[in-house]
Amino acid sequence: MNARDRLIVGLDIPTMTEAEKMVATLGDTVSFYKIGYQLAFAGGLEFARELVRDGKQVFLDMKLLDIDNTVAKGVENIVKMGVTMLTLHAYPKAMRAAVEAAKGSGLCLLAVTVLTSMDETDLINAGYEYDPHTLVLRRVEQALSAGMGGIVCSAEESSAVRKIVGPDMAVVTPGIRPAGSDAGDQKRVMTPADALSAGSSHLVVARPIVRAPDPKAAAQAILAEMRTVL
């Protein structure tokens, strides 16, 4: 894959009008988009279908978690949308149900390990006995066993994750911030070049691009940095 196939722009945008304008602004510079809760509930699911029809790749960031049957039925319908990637929380039963439902399709199922907005204190407050690094690696092993297509983790964990999953699984890292940019509410961040060097296969970048004065120039700068490593 080249840099353009590895950069996923997060459409963390409140309205369809703004999302459509952003995609038009970025043009051929970007070929891969993430749609999460914010846009999904403002018409983003149909927009995902439109992007697929236009030849774009879509990462549907739904972080599914429910009883096995509900997860499976949801995945079956998402397969029909033609999106490239879908996230689930890395709970073993949910992952196994999703893998079975997506069997034979081109959908890459991604296991969300520990959100990049969470640190050790956050995990303790949520009732977990593990620190972020330990919990990530535990969930990575479970995702590998379940047959998932990839992992979502902080770039700080990419190197350790890559050692477990080998060269073929996707390692998708949000919380990417070019040098000098504001980390915002992310607590475990890394620059694009460092993330790729650490073992990430795909980088999710939202605010540094979609809130930039010139989004296209911001995306081009990130792609240029990525190419220095690739």
Instruction: Please check if 186 is assigned to a binding site.
Output: yes
Instruction: Please check if 78 is assigned to a binding site.
Output: no
Strands 57-64 vs 32-35: parallel, antiparallel or unpaired: parallel
User: Which contiguous run of DSSP H or E holds residue 210?
Assistant: helix 207-210
DSSP string, 56-98: -EEEEEEEE-S-HHHHHHHHHHHHHHT-SEEEEE--HHHHHHH
Instruction: Please check if 61 is assigned to a binding site.
Output: yes
Look-up of token digits 């149900």: 97
- What residues contact 83, with CB distance under 8 A and at least 6 apart? 48, 52, 57, 58, 59, 60, 107
Instruction: Please check if 64 is assigned to a binding site.
Output: yes
φ, ψ of residue 27 in degrees (nearest 5): 55, -135
Instruction: Please check if 113 is assigned to a binding site.
Output: no
Instruction: Please check if 220 is assigned to a binding site.
Output: no
Instruction: Please check if 88 is assigned to a binding site.
Output: no
Catalytic residues: 63
Instruction: Please check if 12 is assigned to a binding site.
Output: yes
Going by the annotation, the residues of the binding site are 12, 34, 61-70, 116, 177, 186, 207
Could you tell me which residues are annotated as the binding site for substrate?
12, 34, 61-70, 116, 177, 186, 207
